[in-house]
């Protein structure tokens, strides 16, 4: 007696698995778009709501403060609710936070909205990682994480290249903020499709419940080696030199170089969107998105390269080194900023691709969840502090030199930690420099 063919769309098949991956990736598309809508609309928000740059920075700080709290409680909540209920809860929180931001009349309501948004968004990213592990464990794990990162970062690139255009075309910044909220609602709808597919797949395949992953167990902390702590220190300095910078860089390109926020042209809205993308190097938000676009396109390939050649610590040294002149030249010269942003893009591809997969190699398997959770919490501590410092320095000095020196200094600190990591890795057997298939985490999935 022969068994019946399972069919193309059976949950055990690759087509079903990658279809569900698309909807898993779209879970965070709206949150990535809404996260950077503040930076994309920076100049307009300051003018329309009478905000200063430090207030814009505080909106990113509020997000990171919520993220730190969620690292400690989100994993436990995920374990209690399971992947489907947890993802739906966090998706709804993201949508509600984006709605509050869209209707906010002043500073404190904006901050409240970003707190709600940050609590949902960071939790959703943790859930997304666990869900991908659930469906791709032992299969195309690294590829799946790379695809998810690429699809997620489409939201960031679109945010920087359409939000100011939406505000300009419809003569209202609130329309642009509502566009972000509606995209978060779209992610909620994609979540419902994922839930239906996951429930069906779980029933057919008897899938085990996925672990939340990034949960902190404080008794584990004393077991970590110096290699782990150098990775953490590099993480916080590196990300603090990227995301707080891009949060306010559109204003710098507009003010210092006179680059317009949107391209001047006539025609319908979709025509303007297409023209804005094809001429993104002519707009301040478009230049800001170069770094993120590089990550979106090349992160999956960088992850595969790291798996093959190893050299993780060396690649972190190279990435940190590149950041120093890129930030410094943006601050002290009036040279064309595009080459410097491209250099930052190279760093943003190399360092995360080597850094996140390094964690499972330098800590015991049973402590990986604590390692990732603590690393994420400390990273978000930097992402809470440096947007405030960035905005405060610009408001106080009236220039961009001091902020870029600050970011260049963070790059120098990261370079020091990368060299110390390279030395520590040699003492611990050179596991980071060895080429292997390790690091199923593959590529960075934080908002980042």
Average pLDDT, the chain: 84
Q: Is the pLDDT of residue 2 over 70?
A: no
The pLDDT value recorded for residue 437 is: 45
In angstroms, the CA 287 to CA 246 distance is: 10
Is 444 a residue whose pLDDT tops 70?
no
User: Could you write out the DSSP letters of every residue in 97-157?
Assistant: HHHHHHH--SHHHHHHHHHHHHHHHHHHHHHHHHHHHHHHTTSSHHHHHHHHHHHHHHHHH
Reference 291, options 39, 23, 62, 45; nearest CA is 39
Distance separating alpha carbons of residues 121 and 132, to the nearest angstrom: 17
Q: Do the Cβ atoms of 83 and 210 come closer than 8 Å?
A: yes
Q: What's the pLDDT tens digit per position in 54-111?
A: 888 899 999 999 888 877 666 666 667 778 888 899 999 999 999 999 999 989 999 9
Q: Are 76 and 214 in contact (CB under 8 A)?
A: no
Vertex 364: Cα angle to 359 and 365 (nearest 5): 85
When pLDDT is averaged across residues 194-221 and rounded to a whole number, the result is: 73
pLDDT score of 336 more than 70 = yes
224 or 112, greater pLDDT: 112
Higher pLDDT, 7 or 372: 372
| Greater model confidence, 209 or 444 | 209
Give dist(CA 368, CA 40) in Å, integer. 35
Q: What is the pLDDT of residue 239?
A: 94
Are the C-beta atoms of residues 35 and 246 closer than 8 Å to each other? no
- Please list, in sequence order, all residues whose beta carbon lies within 8 angstroms of the beta carbon of residue 375, skipping any fewer than 6 positions away: 231, 232, 235, 359
d(CA 3, CA 218): 51
Structure tokens at 61: 């700080």
Q: Mean pLDDT lowest for which of 79-83, 205-209, 319-323, 350-354?
A: 205-209
- Residue 447 pLDDT greater than 50, yes or no: no
pLDDT of residue 438: 39
Q: Tell me: the pLDDT tens digits for 237-291?
A: 999 999 999 888 988 999 999 999 887 777 777 788 887 777 788 889 899 999 9
C-beta of residue 187 within 8 angstroms of C-beta of residue 30: yes
| Residues above pLDDT 90, as percent of the chain | 40
Q: What is the pLDDT of residues 21-61, one digit of tens each?
A: 999 999 999 999 999 999 889 888 988 998 888 888 899 99
φ, ψ at 247 (rounded to 5°): -60, -30
Asked whether the beta carbons of 344 and 325 are under 8 A apart, the reply is no
Q: Identify the pLDDT of residue 442.
A: 35
The pLDDT assigned to 360 comes to 80
CA distances from 95 to 14, 114, 120, 174 (A): 31, 11, 9, 15
Helices (H) and strands (E) in the chain, counts: 17, 0
206/21 Cα distance (integer angstroms) = 18
Which fold would CATH assign to domain 14-427?
A: Growth Hormone; Chain: A; (1.20.1250)
CA distance 93 to 84: 14
The residue written with tokens 């190097």 in the block is: 281
Q: What is the pLDDT of residue 407?
A: 96
Using CA atoms, how far apart are residues 392 and 373, in angstroms rounded to an integer? 29
Q: How far apart are CA 298 and CA 186, in angstroms?
A: 26
Hey, is 217 helix, strand or coil?
Answer: coil
Instruction: Say if residue 193's pLDDT is above 70.
Output: yes
**Average pLDDT, stretch 122-151?**
76
Q: Whole-angstrom Cα distance, residue 176 to residue 269?
A: 13
Q: b/e per residue, 11-32, with b = 16+ CB within 10 A?
A: beeeebbeebbebbbbbbbbbb
* Per-residue confidence (pLDDT) for residue 177, from 0 to 100: 96
Q: How far is CA 194 from CA 12, 27, 133, 151, 202, in A?
A: 16, 9, 15, 15, 12
Cα–Cα distance for residue pair 109/232, rounded to 1 Å? 33
Q: What is the pLDDT of residues 338-387, one digit of tens each?
A: 999 999 999 998 898 888 878 888 888 777 767 877 888 888 899 999 99
pLDDT at 197 over 80: yes
| pLDDT band at residue 316 using 50, 70 and 90 as cut-offs | very high
Report CA 270 to chain centroid distance, whole Å: 27
Positive/negative CA dihedral, 187, 387, 280, 405:
negative
């Amino acid at each position: 007696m022969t068994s019946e063919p399972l069919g193309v769309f059976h949950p055990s098949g690759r087509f079903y698995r990658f279809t569900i991956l698309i909807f898993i990736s779209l879970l965070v598309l709206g949150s990535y778009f809404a996260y950077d809508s503040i930076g994309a609309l920076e100049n307009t928000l300051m003018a329309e709501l009478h905000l200063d740059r430090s207030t814009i920075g505080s909106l990113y700080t509020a997000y990171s403060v919520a993220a730190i709290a969620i690292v400690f409680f989100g994993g436990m909540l995920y374990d209690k609710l399971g992947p489907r209920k947890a993802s739906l809860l966090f998706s709804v929180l993201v949508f509600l936070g984006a709605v509050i931001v869209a209707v906010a009349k002043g500073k404190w309501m904006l901050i409240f909205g970003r707190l709600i948004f940050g609590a949902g968004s960071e939790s959703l990213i943790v859930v997304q990682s666990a869900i991908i592990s659930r469906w791709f464990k032992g299969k195309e794990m690294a590829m799946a994480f790379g695809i998810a990162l690429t699809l997620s970062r489409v939201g960031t690139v679109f945010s920087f290249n359409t939000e100011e255009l939406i505000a300009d075309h419809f003569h209202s910044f609130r329309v642009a903020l509502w566009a972000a909220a509606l995209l978060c609602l779209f992610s909620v709808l994609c979540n419902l499709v994922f839930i239906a597919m996951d429930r069906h797949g779980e029933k057919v395949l008897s899938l085990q419940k996925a672990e939340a992953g990034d949960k902190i167990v404080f008794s584990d902390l004393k077991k970590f080696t110096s290699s782990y702590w150098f990775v953490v220190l590099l993480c916080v300095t590196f990300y603090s030199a990227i995301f707080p910078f891009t949060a306010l860089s559109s204003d710098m390109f507009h003010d210092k170089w006179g680059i317009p926020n949107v391209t001047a042209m006539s025609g319908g809205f979709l025509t303007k969107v297409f023209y804005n993308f094809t001429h993104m190097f002519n707009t301040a938000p478009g230049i800001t998105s170069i770094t993120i676009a590089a990550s979106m396109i090349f992160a999956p390939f960088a992850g595969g390269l790291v798996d093959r050649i190893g050299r993780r610590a060396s690649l972190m040294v190279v990435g940190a080194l590149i950041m120093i002149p890129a930030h410094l030249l943006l601050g002290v010269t009036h040279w064309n900023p595009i080459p410097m942003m491209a250099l930052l893009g190279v760093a943003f591809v190399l360092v995360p691709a080597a850094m996140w997969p390094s964690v499972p190699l330098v800590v015991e398997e049973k402590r990986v969840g604590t390692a990732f959770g603590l690393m994420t919490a400390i990273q978000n501590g930097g992402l809470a502090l440096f947007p405030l410092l960035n905005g405060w320095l610009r408001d106080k000095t009236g220039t961009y030199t001091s902020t870029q020196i600050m970011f260049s200094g963070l790059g120098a600190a990261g370079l020091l930690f990368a060299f110390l990591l390279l030395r520590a890795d040699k003492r611990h057997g050179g596991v980071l420099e060895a080429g292997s298939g390790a690091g199923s985490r593959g590529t960075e999935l934080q908002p980042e």
